[in-house]
Structure 1
C-alpha cells in the first residue's frame, strides 16, 4: 500500500470551519475541477474515469467509467443523472456525513458527471429521515446557482444543468436503483424487472445513470489529480480512497478515510482499538447484508476482491464490530427483523422468506428452538438466494448463513437449553 492511511482526500475539508459553505469550498480548490472538465470533451472525461479505475462506492463496485459509457451518445431523449443518497443499510454512515460536511464536492461531481454524459437534469435522492443533510444540500444548490455553477450557460461554457434535491419517504427498498426511480416518479418504491436497465430506460423511460454519493464526490479529485495519482491509492483492481464507517464496540466509532485494501486490524488502530479491551468476536465488512467475518479475518484486505475472496462482500464498508459479550443468534435476529420489515412485498421469496426467518430466529433466541430449526433456516435461505427481484432477499440471507457457518455451536446451544428445559415445562403443565 503506497498511500498513508491518514492522508485525507474525500474528507480533507470536513474539519474546516463552515466546511459546507461555498466560500470555504472555493478557498480549498472548490470548483477548479469543474473549470478543467468543461474545457475538455465528454468523451475525455469518461475515458479519464475509466483510466482512474473508479468503482461504484454504493456496494456493487461496478466500474464507474464503464457505467457512464452506457449512456447513449445521441440526445433524442433527455438524459438523467440520479444520485442515490438513500443511505439505509444498517451500520452505514458515510454519505450523510459527506453531504453534511462537504455538500459542494457532491454538487461539483454531479456537474462534471452530467457534462460527461450529456445530462441536463440531475436528481439527488436523499433518505427522508436525513433532514439536516437535505437542508444543507438545498442550501448548497442555491449557492451554486447564485455563483453560476448551475443553471444556464455554466461558466460561459454553453452547458446547462439543473439539480433537484428530492427527499424520499424512508423506505430501505428505495436504495435499490430501480425502486428509487419508481419512487422518484411518484410511485410506490418497488424494484423493476431488468432488463431494460436504467441506462436504456430509467427515469421517465429515458436513459439514466444512477450513482452513489461517494462515487460522484470522488470525481472532482480525479479530474484535478489525474488517473495515475488516483491509482497510487488503494489496490490495482480497487484503486482510490474509501470512507469506512466503523461502529460498535470500538473506542472511537466514526468515519475513517483510508485507501481501499486497508484491513480491520489497521482500522481498529485508527479507531483506538476494541472498547474496554474486550476481544473481538465477529464483524461485518460492509453492513448487515454482507456475510459476517470473525477474529480470524482481521487481516483480510477490505477491497472488492479481498472481501469476496474471503467469502463476504465489501458492500458499503459499514464495519460493525461486536465483542465477545454479544450473542450471534440475537444479532442476526435483529437484522432479520429489519429485513422483514423493509421488504417491499413485491416478490414471494423475499416477502414470505424474511417473515419465516424472523419467526424462527425469534423463537430460537427466546429458547424455544430445536436443532431442526437450524436446517430449516438454511433451507429457507437457499430458497430466497438468487430468487428474489432485487438484492434485499439475498442480503437478508447473508448474515444467517455466515453466522451458522462460523457460530453453529451458539445456535445448537440455544436448542440444547430448550431441550433441557422441556421436561420441567411438561411437569409444570
Structure 2
C-alpha cells in the first residue's frame, strides 16, 4: 500500500493557526495560482481530479462547481464541519492540525464565484476547534489572505464560524442552511437545490471540510496529478477513520484503490486480541455492513458501488466475532430513533418501530414474522423518507439481515449464539 500524504502532509509539522508556517510549507500556493488563471480553467482542473464530495453524498465536486458557476447572482461559500456521524473524526483532524488548508480551499472557491461571505458550520462539541478556526481566520486576515482586497485581486471575502447545537440531522445540507439562518435544523424540500436557493435563498456552494481541503493541492499541482494517486474513478486520497476491534485505531490517509483488508491489516495492525473479524460497518452508522468475504473490495467509489456499498464519511468500524449482530443493530437504531428530526412519518415512526422489534428479539420474545416486518419497515424508510437521514438509517439493518439472517432467525427462535443473552438466562 503506497504511502501518500496530501491532506496530512503538514500534520504535526506546523503550528495550526500560523500563516507564516503554513506558507513556508507550501500553503496558499493554490490560491496564488488560481488568481492567475481563468476561472473555468481552475474548475476544469477540479473536474480532471475526479474529486468526489467527501462528506458522504459523493457528488463530483468539479461538476458541482461548474453548475454553480453558471448560476448568476451572489453566492455563499459554506463548509459542512458538523461531523456528527459516529466514529468519524477525519474533519476534526484537518481543522485541529491544518485549518488554513480548509480556509484556503474556501477562499479559492470565493475567488471563482465572487463570494464575499463564507461560513464554517462546526459541530457544537468542537469548542476548542472553533476557537482555533477563529484564530486561523484572524491570522489569515492580518496576512492579507482573507478580508479586503485579498492579494490585490479586489476580492473581499470573510469567513464566520457558526456553532451547531448537537443535532445529527444538521449534517444534511439543507438542514444545515436552516440552522445557520437561525431556524430549527430540519431538511428542506428539493428542488430547489442549494446551488440555486440555499442560504437566505441565494445561490450557495456547500462542501465538506475534506473536500475543500483537497482544492489547494489540486489547483497547485493539477488535476491529473491528484487523480494519479487514486483510481480512474476516484481521484486522490481519502482520510479513513479506523475504529473498533483493531490494534491501531486512528485516522489514516490512504490512496483510493487501497482495499479494506489492507487498511485493517497494514494501518490497523490487524484484529485486536487475536479475535476473528465478523463484519465491517463502513461509512458511519448509516453505512453498509458486510462480512470478511468482502474485505478485498477496493476503497473506490465505483468498486464500492458495484458491491452495493457506500463509502459515506469514511469511517471503518471493525466488529469481532464475539459481537451479536442483533444487539449491535439495536444500538445503531436507538441512535437514529434519538436523532430523527420528526419531520416525516417514515423516519419518525419507522425508527421507533424498528427499535421495538429489535428489543423483542433481544429479549427472546421475537418471531420470524418480526424479522419480515423489520425488513419491510427498512425498505419503506429507505424508499419514502424525506431526507438522506431517513433514507440511509435503515441501511445497516438491510445489510446485516442480508449477510447474517441466520443469526436473526436464531434470536427469533430463542436460540441466539451468545451464551450470556437474556434468551439463555443471561442478563
TM-score (norm 1): 0.94
Q: Which residue, 245, 250, 260 being the options, matches 1:254?
A: 250
Among 379, 390, 400, the alignment partner of 1:382 is 379
Query: What is the Cα-based RMSD across aligned positions, in Å?
Result: 1.5
2:71/2:203 contact within 8 Å kept: no
Which residue of 352, 356, 361 corresponds with 2:358?
Answer: 361
Residue segments in structure 2 that go unaligned for 5+ positions in a row: 417-422
1:105 is displaced (CA, Å) by 0.3
Instruction: Say whether residues 1:150 and 2:146 are aligned partners.
Output: yes
Shift of 1:359: 1.3
From 145, 167, 172, the counterpart of 1:176: 172
Q: Distance in 2 between matches of 1:120 and 1:71?
A: 15
Aligned to 1:324: 321
Partner of 1:266: 262
Instruction: Choose which of 1, 7, 10 in structure 2 pairs with 1:10.
Output: 7
1:118 is aligned to 114
- Give the match's secondary structure for 2:313: coil
In 2, distance between residues paired with 1:200 and 1:235? 32
State the match for 1:42 in structure 2. 39
Q: Secondary structure at the match of 1:417?
A: coil
Which residue in the other structure is 2:24 paired with?
Answer: 27
Q: How high is the TM-score relative to the length of structure 2?
A: 0.95
Using the alignment, how far apart are the partners of 2:206 and 2:214 within structure 1? 15
Secondary structure, aligned partner of 2:10 = coil
Q: Residue 199 of structure 1 aligns with which residue?
A: 195
Contact 2:114 2:155 in 1 (8 A): no
Indicate which of 258, 270, 280 corresponds to 2:277: 280
Alpha-carbon contact 1:103-1:137 (below 8 Å) kept = yes
Aligned 8 A contact 1:263 1:301 in 2: yes
Could you say which residue in structure 1 is the equivalent of 2:48? 51
State how far apart, in whole Å, the 1-side matches of 2:152 and 2:187 are. Answer: 40
Q: Which residue of 2 is the match for residue 233 of structure 1?
A: 229
Partners in 2 of 1:338 and 1:285 — Cα distance?
A: 16
CA distance in 2, matches of 1:320, 1:286: 8
User: After the TM superposition, which segments of 4 or more aligned residues of structure 1 sit over 3 Å from their partners?
Assistant: 72-75
1:74 and 1:245 map into 2 onto residues whose CA distance is 36
Quote the offset at 1:138 in angstroms. Answer: 0.9
In the aligned structure 1, how far is the partner of 2:179 from the partner of 2:317?
A: 29
- Name stretches of at least 5 consecutive residues in structure 1 with no aligned partner: 420-424
Alpha-carbon distance in structure 1 between the residues aligned to 2:114 and 2:359: 51
Q: Give the whole-Å Cα distance in 2 for the aligned partners of 1:384 and 1:245.
A: 27
Using the TM superposition, give the Cα deviation of residue 403 of structure 1 relative to its aligned residue in structure 2, in angstroms.
Answer: 0.7
State which of 139, 143, 155 in structure 2 corresponds to 1:159.
Answer: 155
CA deviations over 1:245-280 (Å, ceiling 9, x no partner): 100011110001011121111101111111112111
Shift of 1:72: 4.8
Contact 1:285 1:302 in 2 (8 A): no
Task: Classify the secondary structure of the residue corresponding to 1:81.
Answer: strand
Task: Report how many residues are paired.
Answer: 416
Alignment partner of 1:79 is 2:75: yes
Work out the CA distance in 2 between the residues paired with 1:265 and 1:119: 43
Query: Alpha-carbon deviation of 1:117?
Result: 1.9
Q: Is the 8 A contact 1:72 1:207 kept in 2?
A: no
Q: CA deviation at 1:316?
A: 1.2
**2:419 maps to which residue?**
none
State the alpha-carbon separation in 2 of the partners of residues 289 and 203 from structure 1: 26
Q: How far apart are the structure 1 equivalents of 2:390 and 2:114?
A: 35
Q: 1:13, 1:264 → 2: CA distance?
A: 25
